[in-house]
Amino acid sequence: MAVVRQSVSEKRRQELVLAAYREIAAHGFEGLRTREVASEVGVNIATLHYYFPTKESLIRAVLDHVMGRFRTTLAPHGSPSDQLRNYLRSVRTLLVEEPELGAVMAELALRSVRDKSIGSIMNEMYDVWHVTMRGLLRRAVREGGLRPELDSDAVAALIIATLTSMTLPVMTDPRRGDRALRQLELWLGLPQRRPAQSSN
């Protein structure tokens, strides 16, 4: 019985996170109203506060959801170089297929400049992202897939900056984002995927 209650509770929590995520994507951070979030899920504001006592805790959960979506693009198979190339392309595809993801990231990034609590949450997220990228780059250098003189710390920051910039409206044109990623791959010296052989 406790397991059923826990799964219902987790489902309700996730519904609130997704409702907040959609509110931010549609109306921006300034348009996020906890009453609207609760109403969309069909609960009262007291129930929302049971799961998320503060707006900051709700935003943290939204950001966890966003980062979870990004983590799905990091496949653990193949060489580190292949993983990196596939990651860059998968993130690009994700941002094209789920434009609300980029909208939420852009909203929170812009808000973090003026709001210390959101800035702190965003910095934590970027730190985790940076450590992950740096580790992947170091493995790619060790296996000979990237040039040994690359500074993995600086390159990780560059990759994150490139991917983050793709959430901004000026970069939402798929051609711009695709060209930026292709250039980044070339600059890194990532092996290019060969075109599929014809069976004729």
- Give, for all 200 residues of the chain, the pLDDT tens digit: 555 566 878 999 999 999 999 999 999 888 899 999 999 999 999 999 999 999 889 999 998 899 888 888 888 788 898 889 888 888 888 888 888 998 898 888 888 888 888 888 888 888 988 999 999 999 999 998 888 888 999 999 999 988 888 887 766 666 777 888 888 888 888 866 554 444 44
pLDDT at 171: 65
Q: Which helix (H) or strand (E) holds 182?
A: helix 174-188
At 77, the amino acid letter reads: H
Record the tokens describing residue 109, joined without a space. Answer: 């990034």
Between CA 81 and CA 63 the distance in angstroms is 28
Q: Can you give the pLDDT at residue 196?
A: 46
Question: What is the C-alpha to C-alpha distance for residues 51 and 45, in angstroms, rounded to an integer?
Answer: 10
pLDDT of residue 5: 63
**CA atoms of 173 and 44, how far apart (whole Å):** 39
Amino acid letter for position 160: I
Its pTM surpasses 0.85: no
